[in-house]
Amino acid sequence: MISTAAVIPVTPSGEVAHLRGDAPAADSIVAGRPAACVLSFLLLSIYIGALIIATVSRNRIYENEVTLWKSVVDGTPSKRRPRMNYADALVTLGKQREDGRLYGEALRELQVLMALPDDGSSSIRNWYGETGLIYYRLGMPDEAMQLWREGLKHASGDAALENNIAIALLHQGRLDEALEHAMTARGSDPLMPKAVFTLGEIYYAKGEYLEAAGHFVMAEKLQPEKLDAYWNASLAFLEAGQYEMAYEQVVKYLERETDLRLRADARSLAEEVSGKLADRKRYQKERTR
């Protein structure tokens, strides 16, 4: 399954002290600046250290997955399922490291898999899905879509394959075709969060912001831990002029996001929405005079 970053544009990042606009007075900021700088430096050092540790730990986990399935493949070379799992681990590590060589190794394993007798442990649909994913990540979307379409011949209406094609078409700007495939994916699996999310991205790209927002909110309900849905919903409501709803969504995002950099972006978005709400209220007040 394609794991893709949101195509929604990110608002400019900036530090915001408070969501409601009640920032500390200027003199208090100046007076506290030296201590704040030391504290900020310490917090930044702690954050960077934690990030490095997390990255090293994640690399070890992925490497262990590759090592694990490589040993299983070596022990059962005629079995399809371990080789598929090994290829999947290589793809995951390749994505994490942005290393195309690991994708190439995964492709070789999948080619070997197809030459093995069918033991029923790994379907032809999975082969097309995984191989297409590798081509997509190698920057070859047309080849990827061709493979996914071949997979659909073996698994007609498969929601995951249809959604993969929709995402690839979306990134090519072929929005009507993307919408058709995303709708098919949704029809095959109405409760599939990724298909609902993809529909939201497509409608946003088409400029149908309220429709997009509705799908992002629906994706939130289907998969509450998918924070991109809250972020994108906020942006879609903002573009639609629904500032109260935009603010509500960015607050939900802030309640769940723990990454400091992303929280800074969210605070910047919250400040932008608050400003627009304030402007609207001033305009309405002036009109009623």
Closest by Cα among 268, 252, 249, 272 to 260 = 268
* CB atoms near residue 167 (< 10 Å): 28
Q: CA–CA separation, 253 vs 241, rounded Å?
A: 19
For residues 225 and 282, membership in a common domain is answered with yes
Mean pLDDT, range 65-84, rounded to an integer = 90
Domain membership of residue 33 (yes or no) is no
Domain membership of residue 41 (yes or no) is no
The top-scoring range by mean pLDDT among 29-38, 45-54, 98-107, 156-165 is 156-165
Closest by Cα among 9, 3, 1 to 265 = 9
Which residue matches tokens 């509500």?
A: 248
Domain membership of residue 192 (yes or no) is yes
Query: The domain containing residue 67 runs over which residues?
Result: 55-122
pTM over 0.95: no
We report the CATH number of the domain holding residue 248 as 1.25.40.10
Compute the C-alpha angle 138/67/120, nearest 5°: 75
**Cβ(124)–Cβ(156) under 8 Å?**
no
For residues 177 and 241, membership in a common domain is answered with no
| % pLDDT > 70, the chain | 78
Model confidence band, residue 281 (pLDDT cutoffs 50, 70, 90): confident
Model confidence band, residue 107 (pLDDT cutoffs 50, 70, 90): very high
Domain membership of residue 262 (yes or no) is yes
Domains in the chain, number:
3
Domain membership of residue 28 (yes or no) is no
Domain membership of residue 39 (yes or no) is no
Q: What is the pLDDT of residues 198-230, one digit of tens each?
A: 999 999 999 999 999 999 999 999 999 999 999
For residues 116 and 189, membership in a common domain is answered with no
Compute the C-alpha angle 85/131/226, nearest 5°: 70
